[in-house]
Amino acid sequence: MGDKDPDFPSHKIPSSSQVVEEVKELWSMALPMTAMNFDGSRSTRGGDGVGADEPEHDVADVRLAVPSCLGICLEWWWYEIVTLMAGYLPNPTVAVAATGILIQTTSMMYTVPMALAGCVSARVGNELGAGKPYKAKLAAMVALGSAFVVGFINVTWTVILRERWAGLFTNDGLLKALVASVMPIMGLCELGNYPQTTGCGILRGTARPVIGAHINLGSFYFVGTPVAVGLAFWFKIGFGGLWFGLLSAQAACAVSILYVVLVRTDWEAEALKAEKLTGVEMGACNGGKGKTNEEDDETERLLVNGNEIC
């Protein structure tokens, strides 16, 4: 092996220039995806990828796609349940109308973490498949950091504009007051939702979407639902109790997913697993030519760790 590249030191701490470069790459993907989510654009072309016509690839894709889809559905179904529960509150007409405004607002904010999740999933998967676990880890950490930053921005604007936001949808004074009372809670929910959704993208990139689906199921239906029902109906808090239920679900979900990503993820092992899943040897994509010192260094560490694991 040649000399180690000083831009990627062996102690695995990325330089500021590497972080900045990763931020640029991530957001160059995330911003167009966010715009696409806003206007509803979708590509209709598909099925012409490598191995698209091979049944074994189809089975593997389904095993990853179904839990990925289910994890998102479990969260959105819970919002529909909140709408139904709002109909059983005192003054249900106003409660359901306020729920509609808030869900529309959170749907708008959800476009950003959804784009981040899609981008980091691709970045992490590509880097692991290329045998570069620490580049995958860097992509994951940058995405999570970005998620927290944008989440704090959402908390800020929901607090500042809470008295005015509902005026974009209605002139009803009672409805505007109800929405304003819950807007800060919704902002805090998004502070948890952003890293949670981005973390699910990281899990998809490491071929572990089942974990994200299980966490969403437990958080929303075994934490959020009891809290929402108890606060809204048993303790008579009313409409705000439903959204405190959502806040508890998002908190449980975010903590669980961050624990899996930050504590329980062995990036070298994930790269070895990616090698087995794809059936491609390390460096095969480069044909053994033109490897940089950084790639040599990281692949060497990966192979050493792989021998230790085996």
pLDDT for 76 beyond 80:
yes
Question: CA-CA distance, 187 to 182, in Å (whole number)?
Answer: 9
Question: pLDDT value at position 175?
Answer: 95
**Lowest-pLDDT range of 165-179, 258-272, 279-293:** 279-293
Question: pLDDT value at position 301?
Answer: 57
What burial class does residue 171 get, using C-beta atoms within 10 Å of its C-beta: 0-12 exposed, 13-18 middle, 19+ buried? exposed
CA-CA-CA-CA torsion for 277, 280, 286, 289, nearest 10 degrees?
140
Which of 145, 154, 150 shows the shortest CA–CA distance to 258? Answer: 145
Of the pLDDT bands very low, low, confident and very high (cuts 50, 70, 90), residue 36 is low
Ranges of each domain in the chain: 26-33+55-279
Which of 16, 195, 177, 215 shows the shortest CA–CA distance to 98? Answer: 177
Question: CA-CA distance, 99 to 171, in Å (whole number)?
Answer: 16
Q: What whole-number percentage of the chain has pLDDT above 70?
A: 77
pLDDT for 52 beyond 60:
no
Give phi and psi for 53, each to the nearest 5.
-95, 5
Of the pLDDT bands very low, low, confident and very high (cuts 50, 70, 90), residue 46 is very low
252-266 pLDDT per residue, tens: 999 999 999 999 999
Tokens for 105? 């607002």
pLDDT for 170 beyond 90:
yes
Running DSSP on this structure, what letter comes out for residue 13? P
Q: Is 244 left (phi over 0), alpha (psi -120 to 50) or beta?
A: alpha
Question: pLDDT value at position 12?
Answer: 61
Element (H, E) at 152: helix 133-160
**Lowest-pLDDT range of 35-39, 210-214, 227-231, 233-237:** 35-39
209-231 pLDDT per residue, tens: 999 999 999 999 999 999 999 99
Question: ∠ CA 204-44-211 to the nearest 5 degrees?
Answer: 15
| DSSP-assigned letters across all residues of 47-90 | S-STTTT-HHHHHHHHHHHHHHHHHHHHHHHHHHHHHHHHTTSS
Mean pLDDT of 29-38: 69
Give phi and psi for 23, each to the nearest 5.
-60, -45
Task: Give the list of residues 6+ apart from residue 199 with CB closer than 8 angstroms, or none.
Answer: 144, 212, 254, 257, 258, 260, 261
Give phi and psi for 296, each to the nearest 5.
-60, -45
**Lowest-pLDDT range of 26-35, 142-151, 165-174, 248-257:** 26-35
pLDDT for 99 beyond 90:
yes
Question: pLDDT value at position 298?
Answer: 54
Q: What whole-number percentage of the chain has pLDDT above 90?
A: 61
pLDDT for 151 beyond 70:
yes
pLDDT for 293 beyond 90:
no
Question: pLDDT value at position 57?
Answer: 55
Mean pLDDT of 71-86: 93
| Collapsed DSSP state (helix, strand, coil) of residue 91 | coil
Task: Give the list of residues 6+ apart from residue 208 with CB closer than 8 angstroms, or none.
Answer: 260
Mean pLDDT of 285-303: 50
